């Protein structure tokens, strides 16, 4: 079951410049950064009450976010992520309703999460991530 808006992800061609914008100019707190090998991204997290902004940048200049930035010709809103307390049950339920996913099975995300993306063609052009945090999900 979906329990929260986990984060809003913004793809950025220059991570340091984007951190300056969100932390210094807009005044959000930079909570940390993490390289997520499975997603080939360098990521920065800036919490805002109840959710957070996640800046995503290609790790070593490669991967799906690099392709996205090239196709789009710059940065922009990349995806929404909903937090779920039972990722596997939500995947089954959504597959039954005809939703397609970017990968067959969940993959490792930041903060020890398990994540999966609903294909934007299944969701009105919006890339939607579902994430299960270790504290919420089953062991
Ligand atoms: Co995300």
Q: How far is the CA of 81 from the centre of ligand 1 (A)?
A: 6
Residue 10 lies in a domain: yes
Residue 100 lies in a domain: yes
The tokens describing 40, both together, are 């080939």
Q: How would residue 57 be classed by pLDDT, with cut points 50, 70 and 90?
A: very high
Residue 137 lies in a domain: no
Which tens digit of pLDDT belongs to each residue from 5-52?
999 999 999 999 999 999 999 999 999 999 999 889 999 999 999 999
Which tens digit of pLDDT belongs to each residue from 75-109?
999 999 999 999 999 999 999 999 999 999 999 98
Q: Domain of residue 33: give its range.
A: 2-132
CATH at residue 12: 3.10.180.10
Residue 138 lies in a domain: no
CB-CB neighbours of 54 under 10 Å: 23
Q: Strand 76-84 to strand 2-11: parallel, antiparallel, or no bridges (unpaired)?
A: antiparallel
Residue 139 lies in a domain: no
**Number of domains the chain contains:** 1
Q: How far is the CA of 124 from the centre of ligand 1 (A)?
A: 18
Q: How far is the CA of 55 from the centre of ligand 1 (A)?
A: 9
Q: How far is the CA of 79 from the centre of ligand 1 (A)?
A: 7
- Active-site residue (options: 29, 54, 129, 132): 129
Q: How would residue 136 be classed by pLDDT, with cut points 50, 70 and 90?
A: confident
Which tens digit of pLDDT belongs to each residue from 13-23?
999 999 999 99
Confirm whether 29 is a catalytic residue. Answer: no
Q: How would residue 110 be classed by pLDDT, with cut points 50, 70 and 90?
A: confident
């Amino acid at each position: 079951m979906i329990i929260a808006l986990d984060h809003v992800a913004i793809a950025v061609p220059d991570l340091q410049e984007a951190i300056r914008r969100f932390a210094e100019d807009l005044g959000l707190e930079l909570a940390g950064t993490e390289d997520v090998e499975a997603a080939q991204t360098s990521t920065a997290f800036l919490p805002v009450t109840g959710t957070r902004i996640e800046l995503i940048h290609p790790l070593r200049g490669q991967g799906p976010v690099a392709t996205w930035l090239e196709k789009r010709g710059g940065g922009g809103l990349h995806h929404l992520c909903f937090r779920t307390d039972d990722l596997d049950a939500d995947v089954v339920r959504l597959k039954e309703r005809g939703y397609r996913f970017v990968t067959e099975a969940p993959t490792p995300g930041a903060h020890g999460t398990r994540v999966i993306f609903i294909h934007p063609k299944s969701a009105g052009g919006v890339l939607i991530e579902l994430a299960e945090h270790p504290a919420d999900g089953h062991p």
